[in-house]
């Protein structure tokens, strides 16, 4: 290497001023979030599902794609797409959220993608349970984790790596972890992992590796950058860490009325207004309760029928809007009794912020 690694200079210090930085805006322009008004769709239409891509989207224009399965297996093998698509298929409706959703509300703020609330979406994913691939290769008895590597490569905090994540053997062999080739009934879009990706229902999105082209069975825990250096909770600077895994319980509401273009403040007509939103939880799929806050007073929302084990649940609440300024919010509780906090819990990487959303509206 002739020039050393200039990206070591990009070690990132948290932002402590109120303003945002050019690199954050660059990421914000690259990555995209759901438009909150489109939470009304049970399944998020193409192009509205959130996207967080660490590196470049690979340019793949044909189906000559292979997945290598190696490491601690009886029979290392290479599977073509056609081989994989002939395995038993399942379609699951799954809500995915980025672990960094809500990062913009933390101070100091880790320099990364400054999500406010938008990093969520629900899709119907079609693929084959991963265990069918693993069983063809045959995991050896000493396997404890399976690593999944994508075709995307780059630097983060000075470390060059291919995007990779792992799952424990038990999780990887579960019936709901899929190797996926279709989204909402169509081939995967390039930015969503064409031609093959992982979907790990219930987990934050970082586990669902895109552009999957290598699976490695390991007799020891995977030590890739995205597993051990990124995506770790750390509640106290320099303190102990814990791995990011399942999505925390959360609800979002569709801001009612009409917006101001720049501030996105809302204007609502006085009278009955139906507030609508979604709620989800990874660790316990079932949403037990959603409450709607009107100027700080909490009211029970009506839940729609569940849409399966891994998808968000709709909810609604009839509000009699009176002229004046109001703050609307919503708070979900899951079947484990976990509820959203009223204020963000700080995290050094900006992960896991499931504090309640607050929407300011003017009623006229």
Binders in 194-253 for a copy of itself, by CB under 8 A: none
Residue 49: strand, helix, or coil: coil
Q: Measured from the CB of residue 326, what is the shortest distance to a copy of itself in angstroms?
A: 11
Least distance between a copy of itself and beta carbon 274 (Å) = 12
Q: Are 88 and 128 in contact (CB under 8 A)?
A: yes
Shortest Å distance, C-beta 236 to a copy of itself:
23
Positions 9 through 68 that interact with a copy of itself (CB under 8 A): 10, 12, 17-30, 32-33, 35, 37-38, 40-41, 45-49, 51, 53-57, 59
Q: Measured between alpha carbons, how far is residue 192 from residues 61, 106, 174, 203, 238 in Å?
A: 14, 28, 22, 16, 34
CA angle 229, 233, 235 (to 5 degrees): 125
x-or-dash string of contact with a copy of itself, 140-179, rule CB under 8 A: -------------xxxx---x-------------------
Q: Does 320 bind a copy of itself (CB under 8 A)?
A: no
Q: How far is the CB of 114 from a copy of itself (least distance, A)?
A: 5
Q: Contacting a copy of itself (CB under 8 A), which of 173, 189, 232, 283?
A: 189
Interactions with a copy of itself, residue window 79-118 (CB under 8 A): 104, 111-112, 114-116, 118
- Reported in sequence order, the residue ranges of 74-177 that DSSP labels E, i.e. its strands, are 77-80, 90-97, 120-129, 145-156, 159-168
Cα gap 246→268, rounded to integer Å: 36
DSSP conformation class of 268: E
Name the residue nearer to a copy of itself (CB basis): 115 or 280.
115
Q: What is the CA radius of gyration of the chain?
A: 21
At 129, list the tokens: 């349970």
The residue (of 112 and 348) whose beta carbon lies closer to a copy of itself is: 112
Nearer to a copy of itself by Cβ, of 155 and 346: the residue is 155
């Amino acid at each position: 290497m002739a020039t050393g690694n200039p990206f070591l200079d990009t070690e990132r210090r948290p932002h402590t001023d109120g303003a945002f930085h050019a690199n954050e805006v660059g990421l914000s322009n690259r990555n995209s979030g759901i438009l909150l008004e489109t939470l009304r769709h049970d399944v998020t239409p193409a192009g509205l599902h959130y996207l967080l891509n660490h590196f470049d989207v690979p340019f793949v224009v044909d189906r000559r794609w292979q997945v290598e399965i190696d490491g601690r297996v009886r029979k290392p093998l290479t599977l073509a797409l056609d081989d994989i698509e002939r395995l038993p298929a399942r379609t699951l409706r799954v809500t995915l959220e980025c672990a960094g959703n809500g990062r913009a509300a933390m101070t100091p703020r880790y320099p990364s993608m400054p999500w406010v609330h938008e990093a969520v979406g629900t899709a119907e994913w079609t693929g084959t349970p991963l265990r069918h691939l693993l069983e063809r290769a045959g995991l050896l008895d000493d396997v404890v984790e399976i690593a999944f590597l994508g075709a995307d490569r780059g630097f983060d905090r000075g470390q060059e790596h291919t995007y990779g994540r792992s799952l424990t053997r038990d999780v990887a062999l579960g019936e709901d972890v899929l190797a996926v080739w279709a989204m909402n009934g169509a081939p995967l879009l390039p930015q969503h992992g064409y031609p093959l990706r992982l979907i790990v229902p219930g987990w934050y999105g970082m586990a669902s590796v895109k552009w999957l082209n290598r699976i490695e069975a390991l007799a020891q825990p995977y030590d890739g950058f995205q597993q051990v250096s990124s995506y770790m909770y750390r509640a106290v600077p320099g303190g102990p860490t814990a791995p990011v895994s399942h999505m925390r319980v959360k609800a979002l509401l569709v801001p009612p009325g009409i917006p101001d273009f720049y501030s996105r403040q809302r204007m609502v007509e006085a009278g009955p207004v139906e507030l609508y939103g979604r709620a989800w939880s990874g660790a316990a799929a079932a949403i037990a309760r959603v409450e709607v806050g009107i100027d700080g007073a909490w009211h029970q929302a009506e839940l729609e029928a569940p849409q399966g084990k891994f998808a968000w649940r709709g909810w609604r609440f009839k509000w009699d809007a009176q002229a004046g300024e109001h703050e609307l919010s919503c708070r979900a509780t899951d079947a484990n009794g976990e509820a959203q906090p009223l204020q963000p819990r700080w995290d050094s990487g900006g992960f896991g912020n499931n504090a309640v959303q607050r929407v300011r509206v003017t009623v006229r």
